[in-house]
């Protein structure tokens, strides 16, 4: 089905666009009151994530509020280890936990990529979402990176520092090699199935690659992600996001991904100057900017679009996911500002920034990407 709005896909291919595409990590989630109501009705996060009709409803909720340029599948990065039989659960206020960790030689040796039939609920949700979108905007599928999945699997759940993982990297690097290799097989198959179900683009979330030294990052995180990317069909738009690795952007730019996502600590302008000729770049507003007010949000958008510059290949996003306390009206201000400023720039309107406090649609913005 042809897309009515393919701006994101064109930006990922570094083609000119008539406005800057914007979508937000965790755009469907706890900051929306309608999500909270549906979550209460479903009874648990797992019920939302594993029921295709509910996952579809959550995915579409932010698009009913905001003119975003993409939908992203509502799911969780830990679906793969759950399908491996590790027993995923979510305790209120505590994050994910596994009934069984993978932290010794026996458990690592027994690890296998899961039967993808155990993840059919994800692929069913992708198909339902795609049909419900009816060509409106593209759908992004995703997976956790092999190393990020390994962090939760080894630690047995969420952690502030993943100390068990980091110690294992020194004492038994062979075990981490084995885990990430199995995970890479699983992630590649999982993403291919999302494509078959209807996803238009794919994203790898490497949330914990920033925990590692540079050498360990290359070995345990980036190389397994390269392995995943090599196994995807040619021409599929892909986004690789590693949090906390602003010093590794040159290596990430050569990963084979179409686009690299930046966290908020990275210098967007420098990244665009150094790497924008060969890879699209996504990011990278600090999510806490959305806890301020519409005026401050608009000013932050102006600054980022200036930093991104006029060349094609830029996608506006946050430097990590929306936090639950975010007021929806600030998200509305952000989306409106990105669209208004980038449209005025590409249409040749006078290149001057929004004066903070004025409406994003009432003033022309600076010259930005896609012009």
CB count in 10 Å sphere of residue 4 = 10
Residues 6+ apart with CB under 8 A from 45: 39, 76, 90
How many whole angstroms separate alpha carbon 29 and alpha carbon 242? 21
* C-alpha dihedral sign at 78, 84, 88, 94: negative
* Residues pairing with 97 in the sheet: 89, 157
The secondary structure element, H or E, covering residue 143 is strand 139-144
**Token reading at 342:** 């980038």
| φ/ψ of residue 183, rounded to 5 | -65, -40
Q: How far apart are CA 78 and CA 150, in angstroms?
A: 10
Name beta bridge partners: 242. 206
**Max alpha carbon distance in the chain (Å)?**
66
Q: What share of the chain is helix, strand, coil (3-state, %, to 5)?
A: 50, 10, 40
Q: How many helices (H) and strands (E) does the chain have?
A: 16, 9
Q: Which of 212, 230, 229, 226 is nearest to 176 (CA)?
A: 212
Task: Name the packing angle between helices 328-346 and 294-308 (round to 10°).
Answer: 40
Q: Catalogue the active-site residues.
A: 26, 30, 39, 76, 152
Q: What is the DSSP letter of 146?
A: H
- CA distances for 120 relative to 50, 194, 276, angstroms: 9, 10, 37
- Nearest CA among 253, 345, 240, 250 for reference residue 301: 345
CA 43, 45, 50, 53 torsion-angle sign: positive
């Amino acid at each position: 089905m042809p897309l009515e709005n393919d701006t994101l896909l064109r930006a990922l291919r570094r083609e000119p666009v008539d406005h800057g595409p914007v979508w937000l990590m965790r755009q469907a989630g706890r900051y929306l009151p309608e999500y909270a109501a549906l979550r209460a009705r479903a009874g648990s996060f797992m019920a939302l994530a594993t029921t295709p009709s509910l996952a579809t409803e959550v995915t579409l909720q932010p698009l009913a509020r905001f003119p975003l340029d993409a939908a992203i599948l509502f799911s969780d990065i830990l679906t793969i280890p759950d399908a491996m039989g590790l027993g995923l659960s979510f305790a209120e206020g505590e994050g994910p936990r596994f009934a069984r960790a993978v932290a010794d030689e026996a458990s690592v040796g027994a690890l296998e990529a899961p039967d993808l039939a155990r993840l059919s609920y994800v692929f069913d949700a992708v198909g339902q979402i795609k049909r419900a979108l009816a060509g409106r905007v593209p759908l992004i599928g995703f997976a956790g990176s092999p190393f990020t999945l390994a962090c939760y699997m080894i630690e047995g759940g969420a952690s502030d520092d993943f100390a068990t993982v980091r110690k294992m990297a020194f004492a038994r690097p062979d075990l981490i090699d084995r885990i990430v290799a199995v995970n890479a097989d699983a992630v590649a198959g999982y993403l291919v199935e999302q494509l078959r179900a209807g996803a238009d683009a794919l994203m790898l979330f490497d949330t914990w690659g920033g925990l590692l030294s540079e050498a360990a990052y290359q070995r345990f995180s980036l190389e397994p992600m390269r392995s995943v990317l090599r196994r995807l069909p040619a021409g599929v738009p892909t986004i690789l996001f590693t949090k906390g690795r602003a010093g590794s952007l040159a290596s990430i730019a050569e990963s084979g991904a179409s686009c690299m996502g930046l966290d908020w600590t990275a210098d967007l302008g420098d990244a665009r100057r150094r790497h924008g000729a060969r890879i699209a770049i996504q990011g990278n507003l600090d999510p806490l900017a959305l806890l301020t007010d519409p005026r401050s949000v608009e000013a932050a958008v102006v600054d980022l679009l200036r930093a991104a510059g006029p060349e094609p290949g830029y996608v506006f996003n946050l430097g990590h996911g929306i936090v639950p306390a975010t007021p929806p009206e600030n998200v509305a201000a952000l989306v409106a500002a990105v669209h208004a400023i980038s449209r005025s720039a590409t249409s040749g309107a006078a290149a001057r920034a929004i004066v903070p406090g004025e409406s994003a649609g009432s003033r022309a913005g600076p010259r930005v990407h896609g012009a």
